[in-house]
Structure 1
């Protein structure tokens, strides 16, 4: 029932098609939960208890619906499989507009996330070393840049796995570590004493000015960016076999439902518990920074070290799955011209080169996380808007029916939310500013 493409058998995403619901759950968990969950309480500082919880719940349901749309769109009625988000976008919007709308956001979500993971993983390695070494340690303390080098080397070495199915075990480790440190951090934060001067007060209506409005939009941007794995769902489904009796959407949806049930059990406690524990005193870095800032003295050193180690391992694992679309795109260009599989030495070279490039960007542009709101707003339609428009353009449901209205409304709302988040991010950059320092990671 599936039309096979010769070139698909040469590329890392579709080279192996023996995936299953377990692999789907592992990859979805690894890509769907991670460092972005730790900043969720920051959204609650702007939205408060009611709107924060309601906003998180609504976006969670919204992105689950668009996930289901993508999974159903993976296979056409003719049997053609669209195992890459960009190809599905080109089918729906046309080759020119499909590339224009989806190429930059998907590549940013892959490459930009890898750069951020080097920053987070390398920085947390430094913290882990300091915790283990202690205050009286006389051993040479590597700089932040040197820790970035260490992390990038480990990540590049792990990146030599040939295809997406081969890193299922790595994704499982990444999922387990992410769940572990999310629960460790919020449990410690909730059961330890709260800092003095904590407040949950929100600005009243008379202060509802431009600053307040844009702060609210930024908060919704933080929530929306938490669910950023949609650019990988088609790729994950592309690793599964498919036939008339059991199309790939069946095991894929089964794995996704299991994964997002666990993701919900991590995101909601860390968002609500973190805001309860720190209120408006939570630092910009989120829950991990709050743990070190407020509980470094009353928390066992081994527990702080374990939390840091889990973050490092999760960052290494997440790097692999987010880098895979980049590797796939690089090899696609070679196989299209050479009309043969990519040799192992060239494949290794591509991956080493990407690791070096990601490291260079992490060192050269250490202020990049400050632009996450801006770039996150640009890439937000990948999750909340494009799948709805794709369904309308590809499936062509009858006009003025329930499904037609639902997809149009959600698609338009997703685009409006993206514009508002981008506007708010630009406004913050202009009014508050960012600290720009090249080649000086902290």
Structure 2
């Protein structure tokens, strides 16, 4: 039961993240091409999706999470770099004319509450990575004197600190600079390209775009690894032998093709970020408490027993509210559904 409850949200979040990375990386490749060559791009959006996916599959051939520490470091450095560049440029250029910070008019208090819950789901999706924690910890050496959980805890704290230092200044500075004029699709990078293309060095915009592309390529390998590991584990358990290299390449190519197909079929998927984050939120807010109860088996009705049950139930309720808020937002505002027509 534990595997069933954990496998779906982990695979779902990994797959959804990889599909989103294809969209982000491909659209940013297009911006980079335009900045470097200064002419309209000859490729269609679908062709850019294919270019990014093929590049990601070629790079995603390392065997396991333990072997991609360098890839993770590159992803972290590029993320810090492009977040810093976008934040500095947006703040230095100042606020746009006619910027508004008012919420849309005509919304009821109920709608505003549901929109706030949906925002929590989007934040959870932005801090995605909780589906990788146990996968990474499983590759680390562990013994009674130096259990892997201690090193993993320090790593998680540092990683989320870096993410917070990147995303919160970017969100605050970007909202101050652009307000409600931030593009619905593309976010801060598209806002920078749209509003400051003519008064900012092309080199800076091209460099920012390149950092986003590199980060998307490295992140694709990291978030896809749980899917790769699960496929190879099923083969190894069934055949009782290691997974051959050609089959590993086939598994990764198959997953990349599937992610490409979903990205092309459902180009409006980023509009569902709140829902994607909300469905996977129990992995962060509820599962650790319930796992602790099952593993440690504290005395019933003790302080630790009450504390973990309370936190686990609150986590499940909050996750449910986030999902309801995301669905409410989709129903209330609607989304522009366009199958097989990425922008």
1:211 maps to which of 84, 88, 111: 111
Distance 1:402 1:277, change over 3 A: farther
Contact 2:86 2:189 in 1 (8 A): yes
2:79 match? 178
Q: Distance in 1 between matches of 2:175 and 2:250?
A: 45
- Equivalent of 1:427, from 321, 328, 340? 328
1:108-119 → structure 2 map (5 Å cutoff) = 108-119=12-23
- The answer to whether the 8 A contact 2:127-2:160 is kept is no
User: TM-score, structure 1 length as denominator?
Assistant: 0.73
Cα distance per residue 1:121-174 (max 9 Å; x no partner): 11110111111121xx37x61111111111111100111112222211111111
In the aligned structure 2, how far is the partner of 1:203 from the partner of 1:327?
A: 43
1:267 aligns with 2:167: yes
What is the alpha-carbon root mean square deviation over aligned residues? Answer: 2.1
Aligned residue for 1:241?
A: 141
The CA deviation at 1:202 is 5.6
Paired residue secondary structure (1:394) = helix
* Aligned 1:253-292 pairs, distance under 5 A: 253-285=153-185, 286-292=187-193
Q: How many angstroms apart in 2 are the aligned matches of 1:281 and 1:410?
A: 38
Q: Which residue of 1 aligns with 2:11?
A: 107
Distance in 1, Cα, partners of 2:200 & 2:254: 41
What residue in structure 2 maps to residue 125 of structure 1? Answer: 29
- Partner Cα distance (1:409, 1:186) in 2: 39
The structure-2 alpha-carbon separation of the partners of 1:405 and 1:192, relative to structure 1 and needing over 3 Å to count, comes to farther
Matches within 5 A, 1:38-57: none
Q: In 2, are the aligned partners of 1:228 and 1:383 still within 8 Å (CA)? A: no
User: 344-353 vs 239-248, which deviates more?
Assistant: 239-248
User: Which residue of structure 2 lines up, in the alignment, with residue 231 of structure 1?
Assistant: 131
Structure 2 unaligned runs (5+)? Answer: none
Q: How many residues align?
A: 342
For the structure 1 residues 405 and 185, does the alpha-carbon distance in structure 2 shift closer, same or farther, using more than 3 Å as the test? Answer: farther
Distance 1:200 1:437, change over 3 A: closer
What is the TM-score normalised by the length of structure 2? Answer: 0.93
For residues 30-86 of structure 1, the C-alpha deviation after alignment (integer angstroms, 9 at most, x for no partner) is xxxxxxxxxxxxxxxxxxxxxxxxxxxxxxxxxxxxxxxxxxxxxxxxxxxxxxxxx
Instruction: Return the alpha-carbon distance in structure 1 between the equivalents of residues 327 and 160 of structure 2.
Output: 32
Contact preservation (8 Å) 1:385, 1:414? yes
Secondary structure of the 1:196 match is coil
1:58-137 alignment runs, 5 A limit: 95=1, 98-134=2-38, 137=39
Q: Distance in 2 between matches of 1:108 and 1:207?
A: 32
Q: Secondary structure at the match of 1:398?
A: coil
Name the counterpart of 1:418. Answer: 319
Partner of 1:374: 275
Cα distance between partner residues in 2 of 1:430 and 1:223: 20
For residues 28-43 of structure 1, the aligned pairs below 5 Å read none
